[in-house]
Amino acid sequence: MLDRPDNKKRRNNALPKGRQLDDTALNEVRKLLGDRPRNRDKLIEFLHLIQDSYGCIEARHMRALAEEMRLSQVEIYEVASFYDHFDVVKEGETKPAPLTIRVCDSVSCMLAGAEHLIAGLEAGADPQQIRIMRAPCMGGCDVAPAARVGDREVGHATAADLLAFAESGDTAALKPDYKDLAAYRAEGGYGVWDTVKSGQLSADTIIEKLSDAGLKGLGGAGFPTGKKWSFVRGYDGPRLMTINGDEGEPGTFKDRYYLERNPHAMFEGALIGAHVVGAERCYVYMRDEYPAVLQILRDEIAALEAAGLAEPGFFELRRGAGAYICGEESAMLESIEGKRGLPRHRPPYIAEVGLFGRPTLNNNVETLYWVPAILEKGADWFAAQGKEGHPGMRSWSVSGRVKEPGVKLAPAGVTIQELIDDHCGGMADGHTFKAYLPGGASGGILPASENQVPLDFGGRLAELGSFVGSHAIVVFSDQDNIKDVALNLVDFFTHESCGQCTPCRGGTEKLGKLLRSGEKLDETAIRDLEQVMRDASICGLGQAAPNPVNHLLEYFREDL
């Protein structure tokens, strides 16, 4: 059959379908990537390079990156659009302003006046030059309200200070004074690691000591560390290790505290853990909200390699991109593999099938921090730091209506009243204790009448429908409305849901709408929704998101 003339004309003038490759963009991407291997798992790292260099990720650069990595454009787009810290700009869209000021509006910063700060910035900033963004918890709860001007972190922020930094161009990250490799070794650091390497401490002995000490995972789950190491060691190699530094739980900043002061205690614990389980490589996953910590880790990993304490490439630093869900261990592994941070279905657990399909040991920063001290001073020493029946010392992130917020070293099993009175200087002037979060946003909201509950995994706290989680304590007073607190937490979960499962994706949004629905709440609908979310959500985010609302209805009806 002959073609009609108009069809021939159309076909002869047609361009190839889809977005065309821009040679300039391709050269720019190649220059950024340099001689780095174009491995699929490096996609997020490469997106960071583009974002840092150009202030956004334009469609032309996504097309060029897809060409260079031999990936489809949709794979690039779905990853880039998943993470909050990547600004995807399509053709015809306006690029973001040259400078971004992020203001935390999570619960501790809300109490400290984040809304007033945001309003002041929006009134005083030139939108053509400065973009004002709300941000989830930045780990600056003890210096709330917390903000970032570019990469410069600012505590107790005022609009005038932030705009002054923006005008001066002083927006680079500032590294705090910390104990570097030389200082750590001068105090005997890596002595335990030398003992382990020499064979004086066997793997079985190390696992036994950690178990006798009662050391648990301090990122939230509280799983016994010795048992976890034993499980991973029991699966056939090759094995890998990961360190979860993505402490995005509102109210949590203890891992940041240690990394900004003594990062090598964590590194020494990691070397010991990797040796015990036979891990070939250790991936350090650190949240993008901590630019100073990221620089410390880069510098100290290089120092470890130069000193011969770690083989080149053994520690590989991976940078998060603004996704709370990546604090969940399997979502973190997906992110390290260069994908969206979607939690995996379990079983299998990551101890058996983890990163790149290998058995994987995953530990929290603080968990590893205690390992050298336990092996040096003994299991009995560590266990005796806790209150009776609650072995161990813990680091508590305390913020809110107390005189002296910060990271507080206190025994496992301490009560909220003891934390306030003995470690935080009491309540802030003019404030009367009303309520508290015992475990960050996920752990629910307990009334001041429950001020003698031992804070630890399980026990009375679990009976109250709560948990200690990441040991993030936020204290509220008679000047705070608990419904406002619950809404802040629910809005956080709504924003941070990965969207993979309907109970969480739709449930968090619906919870917020029901709480805002008017004077009379539909409590039947709320309770039904709560049950569905707990029973059917894939991971802990959706399962724990109803906790603040549950406790609002149970303990604080006067605030409805």
- pLDDT tens across 486-504, in order? 999 999 999 999 999 999 9
Tell me if 19-89 shares its fold with 181-377: no
- Provide the sign of the torsion angle of the four alpha carbons 193, 196, 200, 203, taken in this order: positive
Q: State residue 2's pLDDT score.
A: 46
Q: Are 295 and 260 in contact (CB under 8 A)?
A: no
| The pLDDT value given to residue 1 | 42
What is the rounded distance in angstroms from the CA atom of residue 210 to the CA atom of residue 217?
11
CA-CA distance, 104 to 110, in Å (whole number)?
A: 8
* CB neighbours of residue 169 within 10 Å: 10
pLDDT computed for residue 391 by the predictor: 95
Using alpha carbons only, give the angle 530, 531, 533 rounded to the nearest 5 degrees.
65
In the three-class reduction of DSSP (H, G, I as helix; E, B as strand; rest coil), residue 299 is classed as helix
Find how far residue 245's CA is from the centre of its chain: 6
- Give the pLDDT confidence score for residue 8 in this predicted structure: 52
> What is residue 519's predicted lDDT score, i.e. its pLDDT?
73
Name the β-bridge partners of 155: none
Positions in the chain short of pLDDT 70: 1-16
Reference 483, options 113, 107, 134, 114; nearest CA is: 107
What CATH number is given for 393-477 in this structure? 3.10.20.600
Helix-, strand-, coil-residue percentages of the chain, each rounded to 5: 45, 15, 40
- List pLDDT tens digits, range 441-462: 999 999 999 999 999 999 999 9
Domain ranges across the chain: 19-89, 99-168, 181-377, 393-477, 482-559
The fold for domain 181-377 equals Rossmann fold (3.40.50)
The pLDDT score that the predictor gives to residue 18 is: 80
pLDDT in tens, 86-103: 999 999 999 999 999 999
324: tokens are 């709370």
**Into which CATH architecture does domain 482-559 fall?**
Up-down Bundle (1.20)
Q: What is the pLDDT of residue 3?
A: 52
Q: What is the CATH number of domain 19-89?
A: 1.10.10
List Cβ neighbours of 397 (8 Å cut-off, separation of 6 or more).
141, 142, 251, 252, 253, 254, 257, 407, 470, 471, 472, 473
Given this model, what pLDDT does residue 17 score? 75
Buried b (16+ CB within 10 A) or exposed e, 94-105: eeebebbbbbbb
CATH architecture entry for 99-168: 3-Layer(aba) Sandwich (3.40)
